[in-house]
Amino acid sequence: MELIRTKRTGISFRIAKKAFIKHRQIYIMLIPIAVYYAVFCYAPMFGNIIAFQDFSFTKGFLGSKFVGVKHFIAFLNNYKFWSLVRNTLMINIYNLLFRFPAPIILALLLNEVKNQKFKRTVQTVTYLPHFISMVVVAGIILDFVATDGLLNEIRRLLGAKEAISFMTEPAYFYAIYTISGIWQEIGWDSIIYIAALSSINQELYEAAAIDGANRWRRVWHITLPGIMPTIIILFIMKIGQMLSVGYEKVLLLYNPTIYETADVISTYVYRRGILEMDYSYSAAVGLFNSVINFALLISVNAFCKRMTGNALW
């Protein structure tokens, strides 16, 4: 058995060597990418060790005192824990319910447009907000929802007597964050669905039309099933980010009066890690966040694979 195993190993090595020589240009092109991920993605993972230490710059990674799961327990016992998790989950649930379907709907609508000039115009207009700096986007949002902003001006035209200070009322933050996110990303996110739609065999539509299927029937029975694998893959990836909300936008929008609904895990980590320089604690919170996201990704991927046959792996 050992001899057979050795022979198989030798054969596999020769096949791999032959393939490498044959496609060496492609492998050489992969070297910068491999180096990038090794240096900027995998090597920094060693830094997670400080989540289990009372980290000190003077003592370094290996010299700092190990304290086990002290910081994880401190975070779980923190009075802000449940509000941070709730806010993070609520923003992601709002995004899942409203922002996730928005680019799908836009792609389906654009797919039905026959006027190519109008279609390209709509695509360009919806793409543009994605390329605007987040600082500028946050400024636009704050101007729109200010007491003398566009939103309150529209309310006054409709008969409202008093202006609403949207950015000092915690109840409005989820809606503001979600709607502004749809406006900013709907066009960009629709690109992948438009690409998936272009791969659907047009003969299926012709056959359905001959059989008497109207436009809605063709969308329901041909278009949606045609892009369903793409939808499922992106859905799985979205679920894998349920405890992640980018801190940049929230940081630019929120203020202490709306911490009740606006403070999320990533902004809390920013304040504890950067402003208060509690690096070990913030690393523990970030690691906790990543582990939960990873567990969700694995679970949802297995569920989707079992139910639909489509999954990331």
Condensed to tens digits (0 to 9), the pLDDT of residues 159-175 reads 888 888 888 889 999 99
Backbone angles phi, psi at 243, to 5 degrees: -105, 25
Predicted pLDDT at 3: 45
Per-domain boundaries in the chain? 2-53, 70-308
Statement: residue 281 has pLDDT above 80: yes
**Which helix or strand (DSSP H or E) is residue 54 part of?**
strand 53-54
Q: Collapse the DSSP code of 53 into the 3-class scheme (helix H, G, I; strand E, B; otherwise coil) and give the result.
A: strand
For residue 43, pLDDT beyond 70: yes
Cα(218)–Cα(15) distance, rounded to whole angstroms?
48
What is residue 10's predicted lDDT score, i.e. its pLDDT?
A: 57
Q: Report the chain's terminal Cα–Cα distance, integer Å.
A: 32
C-alpha 251: how far from its chain's center? 17
- Identity of the amino acid at 44: P
Please tell me the predicted confidence (pLDDT) of residue 8: 59
Tens of pLDDT, residues 15-31:
777 887 888 888 888 88
CATH number listed for the domain at residues 70-308 = 1.10.3720.10
Top-confidence range, 36-45, 49-58, 186-195: 186-195
Instruction: Please say if the pLDDT value at position 2 is more than 60.
Output: no
Residue range 85-94: mean pLDDT, rounded: 92
| Single pTM value for the model | 0.84
| Cβ count near 206 (within 10 Å) | 11
pLDDT number for residue 60: 81
Q: CA 65 to CA 54: how far, in whole Å?
A: 6
Measured CA to CA, the distance from residue 273 to residue 62 in angstroms comes to 20
Most confident segment among 49-63, 229-243, 266-280:
229-243
pLDDT, one tens digit per residue, over 121-157 is 999 999 999 999 999 999 999 999 988 888 889 988 8
